[in-house]
Amino acid sequence: MGTHTATTPFGRRPMTLALLASQVTASQIDQKARASKWEVFRDIREAKQALGATDRALAILNALLSFHRAEELTAEDSLVVFPSNEQLSRRANGMSPATLRRHLANLVITGLIIRRDSPNGKRFARKGEGGAIDQAYGFDLSPILARAGEFKALAADVMAEHKAHRLAKERLTICRRDVVKMIDVGINEDAPGNWQGFQGRYEAIIARLPRTAARSVLEAICNDLEDLWIDIHQTLESFINSQNLNANESQSERHIQSSNPNVYSTDESENGFREINEASGVDAKTDNVRALPHRDLPLGMVVDACPELLTLARDGQIRTWRDFVAAAEQARPFMGISPSAWQEAVEVMGQEKAAVTVAAILQRSERIASRGGYLRNLTERARDQKFSVWPMVMALLRERLDVHAKTSGSGAKPDAAPGQPEPVEISDALRKSMKKKGWERRGGTS
């Protein structure tokens, strides 16, 4: 006579579609399926949150697996275990009956086991001839074998998420440390920069960090911190470059003064510009070239020295200083100069001289790595009255004069660029003074 497999729970426990779905899944096991019960249990333990299983429920599942004698779970063997509550409680570290029932229900709801209740709710097995079990009533472990692949994939996903979360926390720690210490360096070294603004941005970002944050929140905060890090790093890098530039200029000044005390000059910097140290006062009253920074620059001379700006001027023409400033403002974003750097230059130098400085940087932009940082450096030097736009323009103009001299020697006459004023004529006295003081040899510096 055949036996009927129980599908509904005993007593007042209701039958649900979820329970029926678990039974359907367990009935579809491949007859050749095999799995190590402890390896599957480790996967279940890793994926417990995704499955909805509790710690106590896993302790009970561990005890249930221990009642299955074989190391492997196979479809050929009976996967129903039938320990009493007393035995199960003993192997579950002395769990109380009420707690045991509650977490057994959790295992059933999560689909990890199936109840195979007897008519009276007791757990037992009926053996046939030869001692083989014909019918068993208790807890069916078939879902563990049927879903072994699913548990393995869930465990891998959980471990990957844990790793990503750990890396995000490490990234956050490093970003916070870098930003805080770099702000401290900028403040302690008196580097030019909006350090109060940087500090405010950092505090606003960290204020969004909860006590327990998800990975997506950590990554969003890290992205904002890295943007802040980039701004701070660029500010410090510009300051370092300016310090290196000043050191090179100071070394050149000492060398030139020792070889010829009547001439005060700086070598051309790595960015291609040369500047006059107006604070030195060497022959300031008698040297005609050193007196140049105290006069206004003619517009025609500036445009002739910086023809690249014409390509960004309206209609390709510059007739007034207003046109010149507008062209410089048009060139600023293409050169990577921030609005704050431009505004600071205007406040310190004045609008026209700031525009001349931008035009000169544009003229030799291929020699300057950080144009915004170089403009900030020149602005700081102008603030200390150690910078004038005259030497920059004269250096550029000297190059144009050299080209003009070579072309004149060949009998050709260069044409002015469209919209550009006619080449500026320099007086013989000024040309002789430039030659006497070494302007043409040193590229327009004194």
Digit-coded pLDDT (tens) for 155-164: 999 999 999 9
Whether residues 189 and 78 share a domain: the answer is no
pLDDT for 411 equals: 52
Whether residues 178 and 47 share a domain: the answer is no
Whether residues 278 and 243 share a domain: the answer is no
Record the tokens describing residue 114, joined without a space: 């199936």
Whether residues 183 and 277 share a domain: the answer is no
pLDDT for 371 equals: 86
Rounded CA gap, 370 and 388, in Å?
Answer: 20
Which of 381, 386, 302, 372 minimizes the C-alpha distance to 343?
372
- Three-class SS state of 13: coil
Q: What is the CATH number of the domain that holds 124?
A: 1.10.10
Domain end (from 115, 146, 177) = 146
- What's the chain's average pLDDT? 76
Question: Residue 422 region, left (φ>0) first, then alpha (ψ -120 to 50), else beta?
Answer: beta
Rounded CA gap, 381 and 277, in Å?
Answer: 10
Q: Is 362 exposed, middle or buried (0-12, 13-18, 19+ CB in 10 A)?
A: buried
Average pLDDT over residues 225-235: 90
Query: 188 φ, ψ to 5°?
Result: -70, -30
Q: Within a domain: residue 88?
A: yes
The C-alpha R_g of the chain, in whole angstroms, comes to 41
Query: 373 φ, ψ to 5°?
Result: -65, -35
Which of 404, 418, 184 minimizes the C-alpha distance to 303?
418
Q: Within a domain: residue 9?
A: no
Rounded CA gap, 342 and 1, in Å?
Answer: 96
Higher-scoring residue by pLDDT: 420, 230: 230
**Amino acid (1-letter code) at residue 85:** N
pLDDT at 426 > cutoff 60: no
pLDDT at 85 > cutoff 50: yes
Rounded CA gap, 437 and 40, in Å?
Answer: 88
pLDDT for 1 equals: 44
**Amino acid (1-letter code) at residue 146:** A
Whether residues 351 and 383 share a domain: the answer is yes
Q: Within a domain: residue 154?
A: no
Q: Please tell me the pTM assigned to this model.
A: 0.45
pLDDT for 58 equals: 93
CA within 13 Å, CB half, 260: 12
pLDDT at 10 > cutoff 70: no
For residue 133, the 8-state DSSP code is E
Q: Which of 22-26, 40-44, 194-198, 318-322 has the lowest mean pLDDT?
A: 22-26
Domain end (from 187, 214, 247) = 247
Average pLDDT over residues 87-113: 88
Q: Within a domain: residue 254?
A: no
pLDDT for 4 equals: 53
Rounded CA gap, 377 and 249, in Å?
Answer: 13
Rounded CA gap, 85 and 62, in Å?
Answer: 14
Which of 24, 29, 21, 22 minimizes the C-alpha distance to 149?
29
pLDDT for 168 equals: 93
Whether residues 219 and 138 share a domain: the answer is no
pLDDT for 15 equals: 60
pLDDT at 273 > cutoff 50: no
pLDDT for 75 equals: 78
Measured CA to CA in angstroms, residue 109 lies from 21, 54, 56, 58, 121 at distances of 11, 11, 14, 13, 18
Domain end (from 247, 279, 303) = 247
Average pLDDT over residues 233-259: 61
Rounded CA gap, 439 and 398, in Å?
Answer: 8
Q: Which of 4-13, 352-361, 416-425 has the lowest mean pLDDT?
A: 416-425
pLDDT at 402 > cutoff 90: no
pLDDT for 9 equals: 62
Higher-scoring residue by pLDDT: 337, 284: 337
Measured CA to CA in angstroms, residue 366 lies from 166, 209, 270, 369 at distances of 43, 43, 11, 8
Whether residues 33 and 97 share a domain: the answer is yes
Q: Does the CA dihedral 346-349-353-356 come out positive or negative? A: negative
Record the tokens describing residue 430, joined without a space: 């000024």
Average pLDDT over residues 3-18: 59
Domain count across the chain: 3
**Other Cβ atoms within 10 Å of 291 Cβ, number:** 13
Structural domain span for residue 44: 17-146
Q: How far is CA 400 from the centre of its chain?
A: 44
Rounded CA gap, 32 and 30, in Å?
Answer: 5
> Mean pLDDT highest for which of 246-260, 354-368, 421-435?
354-368
Rounded CA gap, 318 and 311, in Å?
Answer: 10
Whether residues 378 and 274 share a domain: the answer is yes
pLDDT for 246 equals: 52
pLDDT for 46 equals: 92
Q: Which of 98-107, 135-144, 280-289, 417-426 has the lowest mean pLDDT?
A: 280-289
pLDDT for 202 equals: 93
Average pLDDT over residues 393-412: 71
pLDDT at 300 > cutoff 60: yes
What's the first-to-final CA gap in the chain, in angstroms?
A: 116
pLDDT bin (cut points 50, 70, 90) of residue 16 is: low
CA dihedral 5, 143, 22, 26 (to 10 degrees): -50
pLDDT bin (cut points 50, 70, 90) of residue 248 is: low
Whether residues 107 and 137 share a domain: the answer is yes
